[in-house]
Structure 1
Amino acid sequence: GGNHLGVVNDVVGVSDLEMQQIATDLGFSETVFIDWTDSALDPAVRIFTPVDELPFAGHPLVGAAWLLGTLGPVPARALRTKVGVVSCSAHGDRALVDASIEITEVRDDVVEVAALAGLAHPERTMRLALPKSYLMARFATFDDVEALDPDMDAFGDVFGFTAFARDGDAVKARFFAPASGIAEDPATGSAAVALAEVFRRWGEPEGSVTITQGDEIGYPSTIELAWMASSTTIGGTVRHDDVVLVP
């Protein structure tokens, strides 16, 4: 289970094109590259999908925070991303990231989501920019989310489509981002950050939920999400898988 992540712990001498090629060759939803060039600052991170670079993604930050806190070379208190600095921590097999980034655009009740979902109309929708465009759709039941068969050709300029249903503090979610080479993602931290903003906008200024994702593609994953009026924290369990030499 879980969402595989590639972590390259030293990018000295590695070009942007080489980073992209490594991410493409690994084929994971994301590969994160850690840059220690400026030793006076917290490490910078670059995040690549198999086809492009992302300014922000939650799952790679959780994985990078855990790796640095567990395997080193030194624990990181914060990571520098292209949308700002996020604080992080790792304890045992878990890592947490304070993913309180700026939401630059919000559009409520985006009706075209029904066409993307290929199902009856969802209960409610919202479009957010983090800064990539996320289309969020709430459905009535977990079964509705499980039954989704979206039209991948209908996404247009939307980076990612999140379908979710909620029952108390339990959320079932699915995330699709075909334009970035991710037909369906097993665990999506950035979508969880967007979900926290959705809950705020829909009248819940603080709370916490456990998100399950990835069952439909055979990689069940869990994300812990907590939010307050101006902060969002994501986290989960991380397991070290393998070490490979990058040519």
Structure 2
Amino acid sequence: MIGHEVLRVFCGPDGAHGNRLGVVRDGAAVPGEARRQAVAKDLGFSETIFVDDAARGAIDIYTPSARLPFAGHPCVGAGWLLGVPALVTAAGVVDVRRDGDLTWIAGRADWAPGRTLREYGSAEEVDALPVPPPGEWIYAWAWQDEPSGRVRARGFPGRGDGIDEDEATGAAALLLTARLGRPLTVTQGRGSQIMTAPRPGGLIEVAGRVLREAPDQTG
């Protein structure tokens, strides 16, 4: 198996949960899109990144079935891991900053892969949703507390590639923030947490806590 490590991105305030991210630090060891896609499928995380130049922050992002120009939890995880002021992705340059235990990245709504943002009447309705059949990327959300910007969400990629539900999805939270035009605190999945904020020039910042899994948890 290709050498890799695993981060948990968008952990809750207590360090629990978060979306697992596969990281292949030696991107040169896996040249070519077809080989990288095969490795990402074999690892089976919702996303895996290949680091092509750690000093420049150049990364390449894959789901088990597709290459992505931009994605939230891979960029937050890479920003935390590499400690660089910016990342170079296929979509563009992603600014990175740290604020306490949060890593913030800045992206644009038109970089994010398409999702259907589906609002429900309550957090309880979102909690009770079954996994829908494949075919559509659905971001189900409801206000937990609208005045304070607290949102409950779940993400269903619908790709049919083994990821039935995404634990925490930064790109979808970015799109929701762009639609609503206000900062949000999103609780997604089992208890992951995503913070967002609109910025000048059409940018949206997305933040979360990142932890490294112990080696015996990486599979």
The two structures share one fold, judged by TM-score above 0.5: yes
List runs of 5+ in structure 1 lacking aligned partners: 70-75, 104-129, 201-206
Q: Distance in 1 between matches of 2:141 and 2:186?
A: 9
CA displacement 1:32-56 (0-9 Å, x = unmatched) = 111118x6xx332111111221111
Alignment check: 8 A CA contact 1:43 1:78 kept: yes
Q: Which amino acid in the other structure matches residue 187 of structure 2?
A: T
Q: Distance in 2 between matches of 1:178 and 1:211?
A: 21
Give the match for residue 11 of structure 1. Answer: 27
Alignment coverage as a number of residue pairs? 195
Residue of structure 2 aligned with 1:236, choices 204, 208, 211: 208
Residue of structure 1 aligned with 2:185, choices 210, 213, 216: 210
Residue of structure 1 aligned with 2:71, choices 57, 60, 65: 57
Q: Distance in 1 between matches of 2:109 and 2:113?
A: 11
Query: Do structure 1's residue 48 and structure 2's residue 62 form an aligned pair?
Result: yes
Alignment check: 8 A CA contact 1:4 1:29 kept: yes
Q: Secondary structure at the match of 2:212?
A: coil
Give the match for residue 92 of structure 2. Answer: 84
Q: Distance in 1 between matches of 2:109 and 2:188?
A: 24
Alignment check: 8 A CA contact 2:131 2:164 kept: no
Q: Which amino acid in the other structure matches residue 164 of structure 1?
A: W
Q: Which amino acid in the other structure matches residue 193 of structure 2?
A: T
Question: Could you say if the C-alpha distance between residues 102 and 237 of structure 1 is closer, same or farther in structure 2, counting changes exceeding 3 Å?
Answer: closer
Give the % identical residues: 37
Q: Which amino acid in the other structure matches residue 161 of structure 1?
A: I
Give the match for residue 197 of structure 2. Answer: 226
Give the match for residue 195 of structure 1. Answer: 176
Flag the structure with more relative contact order, 1 or 2, with Cα contacts below 8 A and sequence separation at least 6.
Answer: 2
Give the match for residue 164 of structure 1. Answer: 141
Residue of structure 2 aligned with 1:29, choices 40, 46, 68: 46
Alignment check: 8 A CA contact 1:50 1:180 kept: no
Deviation at residue 132 of structure 1 after TM alignment:
2.7
Q: Which amino acid in the other structure matches residue 186 of structure 2?
A: I
Question: TM-score of the superposition, structure 1-length normalised?
Answer: 0.72
Q: Distance in 1 between matches of 2:48 and 2:155?
A: 18
Deviation at residue 89 of structure 1 after TM alignment:
2.2
Q: Secondary structure at the match of 1:184?
A: coil
Deviation at residue 186 of structure 1 after TM alignment:
0.4
Q: Distance in 2 between matches of 1:194 and 1:102?
A: 6
Q: Which amino acid in the other structure matches residue 61 of structure 2?
A: I
What RMSD in Å do the two structures reach over aligned CA positions? 2.1
Q: Distance in 2 between matches of 1:13 and 1:213?
A: 34
Deviation at residue 83 of structure 1 after TM alignment:
1.2
Question: TM-score of the superposition, structure 2-length normalised?
Answer: 0.81
CA displacement 1:144-195 (0-9 Å, x = unmatched) = 1111124314x3xx4x210100122210001111216221000000001110
- 1:30-179 counterparts in 2 under 5 A? 30-36=47-53, 42-69=56-83, 76-91=84-99, 93-99=101-107, 101-103=108-110, 130=111, 132-153=113-134, 155=135, 158=136, 160-166=137-143, 167-168=145-146, 169-179=149-159
Q: Distance in 2 between matches of 1:102 and 1:235?
A: 15
